[in-house]
Amino acid sequence: MVAKKKGKRDLPAALAKMADEVIGSANKGKTPTLDIPVRSLANVRFNEQKRYIEMGSAKQEREFFNVNMAKKFMQTMCVAAACRQLEDEGKTTSIRDLFYMIKHRIDGSNENTVDDQSESDAVIEDLEVTAQFIREELNLFAENKGALAGEITLVDSGDTIDGRAVGSGGWAIPSIVEEDVIQFKKCTANFVLLIEKGAVWHRLNQDKFWRKHKCIILHGGGQPPRGVRRLCYRFVNELKLPLYVYVDNDPWGYYIYSVVKQGSINLAFESQRMAVPSARFIGLSSFDPEKFGLDKKSTAIGLDEGDIRRAKEILAYPWFQSKEWQKEIHNMLANGAKFELEALTNKSISFVTEEYLPRKIKEKDFLD
């Protein structure tokens, strides 16, 4: 890993500020306290102007000399110190590695600093919001998930990757896709297509969909992880490409789209770095089976109770209030059925690449 890039924010300085709080309070004879933004539904709101979910301003005080918070406080400082070490040594680790970095027996006790990874994971998220550095900037990563292929050449940790020559598996999208890891070299794509499922992505890749339509196709294996979302963000913001999202026609598909577009409740604090408000919903729409003459009888799956409940929740989200979306969701409920992306294969194997997507793109048949 390379040294700090120009323009990169100074992580050690931000972390040192946390130490300063401890030192300053100790000097004054006061209890050291960290102000940590609250990460919960109560502290999340939809910013109408920016079109994404934002975290509110509520903060909780984490006091060192409070029995209920002392351990978390200590853990927060330990994680901060570990991140500083990673920064100094120019390495990234998984969050599991970090758990083992800070885990040790506390002197003079039979207690460990951390006993379960869930403790350090929660503290990492606290640290992200407190120091205002996202996980990737803290040199931490989660499991790799997702793949990419298409009309782009990029550099990954110094290796040049030609998106048109990545074989059938595609290029595995790393967890960290920040500028210092991934640089875009050459892009000939006109748009980016984010696909919910690896299997459908595979169909498109095999059919070289990206070559014919000059695009980048990627998938996130269900709910796209941060790396995939962050990469989409960069495509849209740095390469000025439109982003289309292609998901199942069910409430979960809708929500995946909304997370890509507006950000998630869980990671609201990262919306500004990840949300792509300009993303468009390309399909599968609840009107598509009709439109494309699908054999509904053989391809529809009935909505179950959970689907209906989730659909109603989504109907209520502020970012699904447009007329079109309400129509879309109500239509699904009226159909009483959901459709998977693979349903299109019922027509023919390459129906999706040869008929469905070209027609959608041509007709600009998107939902906003």
Partner 1 sequence: MPSRNAAPEAAPRRRPEVKKATAHEMAARQRDISVAEFFQKNRHLLGFDNPRKALLTTVKEAVDNSLDACEEAGILPDITVKIEVARSGDGSLPTTPAQAERFIVTVQDNGPGIVKKNIGKVFAKLLYGSKFHRLRMSRGQQGIGISAAGMYGQLTTGKPTKVISKIEKEDQAHVFEVSIDTKKNEPVEHETKSISWDREHGTSVSIELEGRYQKGKGSVDEYLELTSIANPHASFAYHSPETAEPKKYPRGVEVLPAAPREIKPHPYGIELGMLLKMLQDTKSHWLSGFLSSEFVRVSSAVADEICKNAKLSPRARPRDVMGKDAEVLYKTLQTTKLMSPPTDCISPIGEKAILAGLYKEIDGDFYTAVTRPPSVYRGNPFVIEAGIAFGNKGFLPKDGDAPPEPAANGELALEEEGEKSGSKRALTLAELRKAARLKEKLAKEEERGPELARLIRFANRVPLVYQQTACATYKAATEVGWRKYGLTQSRGSLPQGSLCIFVHMGSVWVPFTSESKEAIADYDEIRKEIRLALQECGRKLGIHLNRIARAKYEMSRRDKFGLYIKEVAEACGKLKVKYGNVNVEKLKKQLQAVAEKVTGGEETEADLNRKENAPSELANTIIVTEKGLEGAVPEGLLNTKPIPVSPPDGAHQAEAGSGEDAADEAPAKGDEKEKGKAKGKAKGSASAQAAPPAKAAKTAPVPDDIPIYSGGKQVSGKKVKGNAGAALQPQKKGKGKGNQKELF
Catalytically active residues, by annotation: 100
- 297 Cβ contact list (under 8 Å, min separation 6): none
- 185 Cβ contact list (under 8 Å, min separation 6): 153, 154, 155, 160
> How near is the Cβ of 118 to partner 1 at its closest, in Å?
19
Residues touching partner 1, count (CB under 8 A): 35
Q: Binding string, 101-140, against partner 1, x = CB under 8 A?
A: -----xxxx-x-x---------------------------
Max Cα distance, the chain (Å):
75
On whether the CB atoms of residues 223 and 259 are closer than 8 A, the answer is yes
Interaction between residue 12 and partner 1 (CB under 8 A):
yes
Q: How, if at all, do strands 215-219 and 147-150 pair?
A: antiparallel
* Structure tokens, 121: 């994971």
> Which of residues 58 and 65 has its CB atom nearest to partner 1 in the complex?
65
**Residue from 1, 26, 58, 334 in contact with partner 1 (CB under 8 A):** 26
> How near is the Cβ of 133 to partner 1 at its closest, in Å?
14
> Which of residues 87 and 307 has its CB atom nearest to partner 1 in the complex?
87
Q: Binding string, 38-57, against partner 1, x = CB under 8 A?
A: --------------------
CA distance linking residue 263 with residue 246, whole number of Å: 17
Interaction between residue 142 and partner 1 (CB under 8 A):
no
> How near is the Cβ of 202 to partner 1 at its closest, in Å?
46
Distances (CA, A) of 215 to 160, 211, 220, 229, 244: 19, 7, 17, 17, 10
From the list 61-69, 115-123, 176-184, 295-303, the region that binds partner 1 by CB under 8 A is: 61-69
Q: How, if at all, do strands 159-162 and 152-156 pair?
A: antiparallel
> Which of residues 29 and 293 has its CB atom nearest to partner 1 in the complex?
29
* Structure tokens, 9: 């924010």
> Residues 64 to 103: which contact partner 1 by CB under 8 A?
64-65, 67, 70-71, 73-74, 77-78, 80-81, 84-85
Pick from 16, 63, 48: nearest CA to 321: 48
> Residues 237 to 266: which contact partner 1 by CB under 8 A?
none
On whether the CB atoms of residues 210 and 217 are closer than 8 A, the answer is yes
Interaction between residue 218 and partner 1 (CB under 8 A):
no
CA distance linking residue 218 with residue 152, whole number of Å: 12
Q: What is the DSSP letter of 367?
A: B
Q: Tokens 């991140």 sit at which residue?
A: 83
On whether the CB atoms of residues 219 and 172 are closer than 8 A, the answer is no
From the list 13-21, 156-164, 183-191, 320-328, the region that binds partner 1 by CB under 8 A is: 13-21
> Which of residues 88 and 143 has its CB atom nearest to partner 1 in the complex?
88
How crowded is residue 248: how many other Cβ atoms within 10 Å of its Cβ? 21
Q: Which residues bind partner 1 (CB under 8 A)?
A: 12-13, 15-16, 18-20, 22-23, 25-27, 29-32, 64-65, 67, 70-71, 73-74, 77-78, 80-81, 84-85, 106-109, 111, 113
